[in-house]
Structure 1
Amino acid sequence: MTPPSRLRPYRLAAAVAALLLLVAVAAATVFGVRLLTESNRWVERSHQVIEQLEASQSLLAATQAASRGYRLTAHPSLRGEFHRAGPQALDAALELVRITSDNPSQHARAQSLLRQSTQQIERMQELVDIQDREGQKAAVAAMRVDELVARMHGVNAASEAMRAEELRLLAARRATNERNANLLLGFVLLSLAVSLATLWTLLVSLSRENRHNRNLEREARGALAELQRAQTMTERLSAQRWAISEYTGLLQSAQNLDEAMELTSCTFERLLPHLGGQCYLARASRDFLESRASFGRPAISSSDALPPGDCWALRRGQPHHNRAGGGVRCAHLEHGTSLAAISTLCIPLSAQGETLGMLHASGPVDGGEEDNDAAIIELMGEQLALAIANLRLRETLRQQSLRDPLTGLFNRRYFEESLRREMLRCERRRLPLALLVLDIDHFKSFNDSQGHSAGDAVLAHAGRCIASLVRAEDMACRYGGEEFTIVMPETDAASAVARAEAIRRAVSQQTISHNGRTLGAVTVSIGVATFPQDGVTPELLFEVADAALYRAKAEGRNRVLHAAAGIG
């Protein structure tokens, strides 16, 4: 007869102990899950505050951009955009105040940010009202740039302080969350190990409970894994939103299209390294698009240049997504390559009803539920389109402010700025500088007899001759009327006179045709002055060169005369 087990007297105690351990595990699991849920709620609250702060700043920046654009262009759509974005910015700031009510320090910062945003928008509204009542010039005159910049800096400083505090809270909450998860997992694993060891020594009849406990263990681990996966996904989305926000801010500071393209390429490769593609920009003629930037390793190649009709996104004016060959294929994609395992996306870049380009991306098909690549690319496309439109508008305004539209030469404003700058540079380097002042002979009588359109043809002819004979470092300008100026850095008197003679001969020797008839001979008189011999200030140097010009006219015109005797 088999002797009774020596553990029989302890079975009840072991069962009770095992039961108590299991109860403790269950209670700890429930408490830990509730604790983790609460921690996650606070983490989500931090993300919500950061997202709302970014939305508030973005809307305030949009309000300021619309106000500034309206002052510069007086376009009604920008005024409407200002009145739309302003209330939205205040609503976003109010929402930020609301959601930070459970944090006194952040609540105070949010209230401060609301006050500063309100003051900034009220000031912008005053400028818009002045422009509506008194006109664009009055609004520009009333604008106090230092005040607006100081206020915007105050808003940015308050925003950065609030963001830094919330990021600190987020890091602390994540650390607490991870610590609680690790403690819970350790306690559960340790308790289950002891329980299983105790139950193993009990009767075979307890094996069913043993299997049940193992199932509980697997479920607990699965719940923790799912929780960690959700947390990882949340962190990934937050990082993507932050990168898009940073990309938007950097785009607003880009000085030209090349910088915008480089920034787009770097951001795309950082956010979506598994995809590749190209960014196309439309030519001025709008009949073709050319690739200006490429990024990553595309799954299928696309043409470097394409007509708008080759892309379904450009035809329809909306994104065109082809997933595993389940859509219409764009003609600019490489022919002969199967789309069965490829996903392609074309995003039209449009702003204010004008197609500026197209963003194309391709990669392997990913059937995961967490795939948000298309949303990221579309968001990047929207921001890039706005940046391209702003850069082109800025370049157009800059050219209009510096160039004379008839001759293509620089205007008087650019001449005055350049002359002063180049004289200071040559003075520091102890180098000479020459100034040529040109005037078309008998232009008034020619203009009166031949008509203003013929006079414009003469001015354009003189401008072309001057532009063709100056160096790259020279600055040729139309000073006003029929008078031109040329600033020639690092040029002595003899070289300046020789260049002036070449210009005089070129103007007089070429034939001008206008409206099917040949105009009469055109000559110019040129006065030359050099720095520092003839003047040490821009005003004095110009007066000396202008006086030399009038002497040349008095001595018979069609000649070059230097301010100093014996040269000319």
Structure 2
Amino acid sequence: MGVGAAAIWGLVQFSRSERWVEHTYEVLAQIERVEAEVRRAESEARAYRLTSDPAHYAQYLAAAPLVRQRADALVALVADNPAQTSRAHDIGTRARLRLRELESLIQLQRTHGAEAAIAATRSGEGARLMQALIEAESAMRDAESELLRERKQASDARARWVIGIVVVGTLLPIALLGLLMAGLSRENRRVRELEREAREAMIELERIAVRRDRLSEQRRILGTYTGLLQSCQNLGEAMALTGRVVDELLPDAGGRCYVMRASQNLVESAGTFGSPATPSEDLMPPEHCWALRRGQVHRTDTGHTGLRCAHVGPTAHSDEWTLCVPLAAHGTTLGLLHVSGRASTGSDEAQADAVESIGEQLSQTMANLQLRESLRVQSLRDPLTQLYNRRYLEENLFRELQRCERRGLPLTVMMLDVDHFKRFNDENGHAAGDALLARVGEVLVDLTRGEDIACRYGGEEFTIILPEANLEVATRRAEEIRAAIGSLSVIHMRRVLGPVTVSIGVACFPEHGGSPERLLAAADSALYRAKGHGRNRVVISAA
């Protein structure tokens, strides 16, 4: 009886020790859960600041209460240990401070924009709060590990004492011994389960850290891309830069950048990049792409719609995915960004969001470049005749004159004036006069070479610069122009107006002047001589 009672008492003490060991493992696991939830909230908050995606904000709102619940559960676990209770309260306080700092960054982004939030993160407050939380957790973990060591020693000592009693008590019923062993086995299984949960928590922490690092790298790449994109001078540079950035984000994928033609009936390839999983057409109507039809991103893979765009080639692999991002700004479709790859190479939601962000940036840049080109053309062209304006003439005459002087070549300047233009305006109206000037501009475009510079000098006066043309060639060309305009008829308001004539003055470098001012003055003087001698003629400068 005494041996049996001693054995039972020893078993009870051993079971109590094992429960304390189990309690210690649970405390350690709960510490890991607190940190994991803080990390998850931090990751979702950072993703929301990077992408402004409401889904990430929703995930953050779901993670924040779990942090507080885990911290409160940790305090409840160590309520019997004042020292550990104090440490648990410290962990909970620091976790809540970190949540409050994350919430302030999100609110700062919502009220002042992403740049303000980015500037706030550079202060290092978040890193300091997180480091403080990690230090508090480490202190509590160390203390709990020391308790675990002491409890294991006590448990081992009691186990040895029980085994000794069992060995000595040879008369102990075999059934009681079997019951004891079953209890030990059950307790060991519970301990192993706690260890497994702790390992899973560590794996989850590593996964969160990897995702955080990947998002940080994407953010760096996109930030660099935005800065470089703003410095692009033309569409070709922007397309080449976009291809390199998408290739960097998705190294095992590829695709094309398309530009919408001015007619809005075709999009054509403006650049390719990477190694696409499926081919895409070089030239296609917008109807061939679901993204251009709907004006929103269209994606096909195992988790999305299976409707493939008509411009994408046939499927070669079951795990292929495609992503079409329409490029639009100010209500106008400008083009398309198409990417394709295989599921084994990536394309998770974060990468897809990054490509969409690239599409948004590229759309704005394309709109700005088109506006810049339109303004440049407007600043150089006369809107009525579509010829170059006087400003362009003055800038380029000097350059062409220097070039011809260096190479020892001639350069000729023609000054043209429509005869009796005021009378034509008075008899037919200003609208008819504008129609006449526009037709004269068309004739000058048709009868000048690609290297010639035809300009509207002002009013009914026109100027033509003929680089590398001597006086003989220029005079012959002037006669051709005079004859062509003399046979010109203008149809306006169902009336045939005309004919009209022009007077032309011709001056040549170096015979009639060595500077732009002298050449223009010489040609203008010859023009007035032509008018004084009866108009409708070509006169060479006498200077």
TM-score (norm 2): 0.64
Equivalences for 1:443-462 in 2 at 5 Å?
A: 443-462=421-440
Q: Which residue of 1 aligns with 2:480?
A: 502
Q: Tell whether 2:512 aligns with 1:534.
A: yes
Q: What SS class does the counterpart of residue 227 from structure 2 fall into?
A: helix
Within the candidate set 305, 315, 323, 2:301 is matched to 323
Residue by residue, what CA displacement relative to the aligned partner does 1:106-127 show, whole Å, maximum 9, x if unpaired? xxxxxxxxxxxxxxxxxxxxxx
DSSP-derived class of the 1:253 partner? coil
Indicate conservation of the 8 Å contact 2:276/2:339, yes or no: yes
Are 2:417 and 1:439 aligned?
Answer: yes
User: 1:482 is matched with which residue: 460, 476, 492?
Assistant: 460
What's 1:354 paired with?
A: 332
Amino acid at match of 1:509: S
What's the counterpart of residue 285 of structure 2? 307
Q: Give the corresponding residue for 1:412.
A: 390
Match of 1:282 in 2: 260
Greater shift in the superposed pair: 406-415 or 92-101: 92-101
Q: Tell me how far apart the structure 2 counterparts of residues 550 and 87 of structure 1 sit (CA, whole Å).
A: 69
Question: Matched residues in 2 for 1:99 and 1:296: separation?
Answer: 34
Match of 2:523 in 1: 545
* Cα distance change on mapping 1:304 and 1:370 into 2, 3 Å: closer
Structure 1 residues 370 and 462: alpha-carbon distance in aligned structure 2, compared to 1, 3 A threshold: closer
How far is 1:279 from its partner? 2.3
Equivalent position to 2:381, from 403, 413, 417:
403
Cα offset for 1:330?
Answer: 4.0
Structure 2 CA distance, aligned partners of 1:333 and 1:369?
Answer: 20
Does the aligned pair in 2 maintain the 1:324–1:339 contact within 8 Å?
A: no
Match of 1:375 in 2: 353
Task: Give the partner amino acid of 2:472.
Answer: A
Partner amino acid, structure 1, of 2:285: P
Distance 2:109 2:390 in 1: 43
CA distance in 1, matches of 2:109, 2:336: 32
SS of corresponding position for 1:324: coil
Is 1:258 matched with 2:236? yes
CA, structure 1 residues 102+306, in 2 after alignment: closer, same or farther (shift >3 Å)? closer
> What is aligned with 2:181?
none
Instruction: Report the alpha carbon displacement of residue 228 of structure 1 after superposing the two structures with TM.
Output: 5.2
Compute the displacement of 1:390 (Å): 0.9
Give the counterpart letter for 1:242 in structure 2: R
Supply the distance in 2 between the matched residues of 1:489 and 1:421 (Cα, whole angstroms).
11
Q: CA offset at residue 410 of structure 1? A: 0.5
Q: Is the 8 A contact 1:325 1:340 kept in 2?
A: no
1:464 is aligned, of 442, 445, 451, to 442
- Whether contact under 8 Å (2:250, 2:347) holds in the other structure is no
Who is 1:183 aligned against?
none
Structure 2 spans left out of the alignment, 5+ residues: 1-24, 52-107, 135-155, 164-184
Distance 1:259 1:425, change over 3 A: same
Q: TM-score, normalised by structure 1?
A: 0.61
Once the two structures are TM-superposed, the CA of residue 408 in structure 1 deviates from its matched residue by 1.4
Residue 429 of structure 1 deviates from its aligned partner by 4.3
2:217 pairs with 1:239? yes
Q: Letter of the aligned partner of 2:521 in structure 1?
A: E
Aligned-pair Cα RMSD in Å: 4.9
Q: CA deviation at 1:465?
A: 1.7
Measured against aligned partners, the alpha-carbon deviations of 1:473-502 in whole angstroms (never above 9, x if no partner) come to 221101111100112223333332232222
Q: CA offsets, 1:129-161, max 9 Å, x none? A: xxxxxxxxxxxxxxxxxxxxxxxxxxxxxxxxx
Contact 2:397 2:465 (C-alpha < 8 Å) held by counterparts: yes
| CA distance in structure 1 between the partners assigned to 2:483 and 2:463 by the alignment | 17
Q: Given the superposition, is the C-alpha separation of residues 363 and 370 from structure 1 closer, same or farther in structure 2, using an over 3 Å criterion?
A: closer
Aligned to 1:296: 274
SS of the residue corresponding to residue 372 of structure 1 reads helix
Name the CA distance, whole Å, in 2 between partners of 1:100 and 1:342: 40
Task: Compute the displacement of 1:552 (Å).
Answer: 0.9
AA in 1 matched with 2:469: T
Q: Cα distance, 1:319 vs. partner?
A: 1.3
How far apart are residue 264 of structure 1 and its match? 1.5
More off after superposition, 512-521 vs 362-371: 362-371
Looking at structure 2, the residues matched to 450 and 283 of structure 1 have their Cα atoms a distance apart, in angstroms, of: 39
Q: CA deviation at 1:425?
A: 3.6
| Residue aligning to 1:271 | 249
Report matched runs for 1:157-168 at 5 Å: none
| Residue of structure 2 aligned with 1:491, choices 459, 469, 484 | 469
In structure 2, relative to structure 1, the CA distance for the partners of 1:94 and 1:296 (3 Å cut) is closer
- Are 1:454 and 1:514, in contact at CA under 8 Å, matched by a contact in 2? yes
- The answer as to whether partners of 1:527 and 1:562 remain within 8 angstroms in 2 is yes
Q: Percent identity?
A: 50
Deviation of 1:342 (Å): 2.3
Question: Could you tell me which amino acid in structure 2 is paired with residue 471 of structure 1?
Answer: R
Task: Report deviation, 1:325.
Answer: 8.1
2:342 is the counterpart of 1:364: yes
Paired letter, 2:355: I
Amino acid aligned to 2:481? I
Structure 1 residue identity aligned to 2:328: S
Change (3 A) 1:426 1:345: same
Aligned CA distance change for structure 1 residues 484 and 329 (closer, same or farther; 3 Å): same
Listed as ranges, the gaps of 5+ residues in structure 1 are 1-25, 53-85, 104-165, 178-198
User: How many correspondences in the alignment?
Assistant: 426
In 1: Cα distance, 2:406 partner to 2:442 partner: 33
How far the C-alpha of 1:378 sits from its partner, in A, is: 0.8
Residue type of the alignment partner of 2:253 = L
Q: How does 1:141-180 map to 2 (within 5 A)?
A: none
Question: Residue 302 of structure 1: SS of its match in structure 2?
Answer: coil
Q: 2 CA distance for matches of 1:234 and 1:97?
A: 19
**2 CA distance for matches of 1:292 and 1:398?**
22
Inter-partner Cα distance in structure 1 for 2:372 and 2:454? 23
Q: Does 1:394 align with 2:368?
A: no
Distance 1:286 1:370 in 2: 33
Aligned amino acid, residue 267 of structure 2: L
The alpha carbon displacement at 1:544 in A equals 1.6
Change beyond 3 A, Cα 1:362–1:229: same
What is the identity, as a one-letter code, of the residue corresponding to 2:390? R
The 1:100–1:373 alpha-carbon spacing in structure 2 relative to 1, beyond 3 Å, is closer
CA distance in structure 1 between the aligned counterparts of 2:340 and 2:299, rounded to whole angstroms = 10
Say whether the 8 Å CA contact 1:310–1:330 is kept in structure 2.
no
Cα separation, partners in 2 of 1:495 and 1:362, compared to 1, 3 Å: same
